[in-house]
Amino acid sequence: MAEITASAVKSLREKTGAGMVDCKNALVEANGDEAQAVEILRKKGMATADKKSGRVTAEGAVGSYIHMGGKVGVMVEINCESDFVARGEEFQQLVKDVAMHIAAVDPKYVNRTEVPADILDKEREILMEQLKNDPKNANKPVEVLGKIIEGRIGKYFEESVLLDQPFVKDPSKTVGDLVTEKISSIKENISVRRFTRYKMGEGIEKKVDDFASEVASMIA
């Protein structure tokens, strides 16, 4: 029997919106085959997120969050299928939670597809050089180093991509997991479209006084 890893369960859960236990049981039944596990869940009527993932999300809400007495501000657009759901308390709470998370964690992208290929290529190049310069990796084949690098790229996604980040209010799940849960609960497709994070003074070059030079000039 194939080993059912936590990452496999998580992946299936993100694709289907089914519960963790149901996903694990489906993978066990499918001997680790994800496609077959999805089919098992669909037959049982549990793959709610999967059934909704292709539906258009043209409604939704723009939410905001201000933190640290006006030092950090966020605006985020989250879409759903109907105006009725968009005005509902559960959806509005999701918008607030995601905006708060963005303010606290400062992601750079909504999802992995937004990360430019050249940035990932440069990251892989730097990681490869780091590994090669470590004596512990002297005898490791390039294929093994490549797997290590992809693992670290996964860590990069966790740090930079909103949907991959551990949710600040409950780090046991990602923001993507949170959205998937709401899809299952609200019974509509939901997508995070875009966000902007503002930090007061960011990008402004501040004058730094050189007190030593000032005192020296006064003495002279």
Q: What is the pLDDT of residues 140-181, one digit of tens each?
A: 888 888 888 888 898 999 999 999 999 999 999 999 999 999
pLDDT of 210: 61
166-167 and 191-199 as β-strands: parallel, antiparallel, unpaired? unpaired
37: confidence class by pLDDT, cuts 50, 70, 90: confident
Is 218's pLDDT higher than 60? no
CA distances from 210 to 26, 77, 80, 217, 219 (A): 66, 44, 54, 11, 15
Nearest to 77 by CA among 96, 99, 61: 61
CA distances from 66 to 74, 75, 140 (A): 7, 9, 49
| Rounded-to-integer distance, Cα 65 and Cα 74, Å | 5
User: What are the structural domains, with CATH classification, of the chain?
Assistant: 1-53 (1.10.8.10), 116-158 (no CATH)
Q: What is the pLDDT of residues 107-147, one digit of tens each?
A: 999 999 999 999 999 999 888 888 888 888 778 888 888 88
Percent of the chain's residues with pLDDT above 90: 44
- Sole residue written with tokens 């539906």: 55
Q: What is the pLDDT of residues 85-112, one digit of tens each?
A: 999 999 999 999 999 999 999 999 999 9
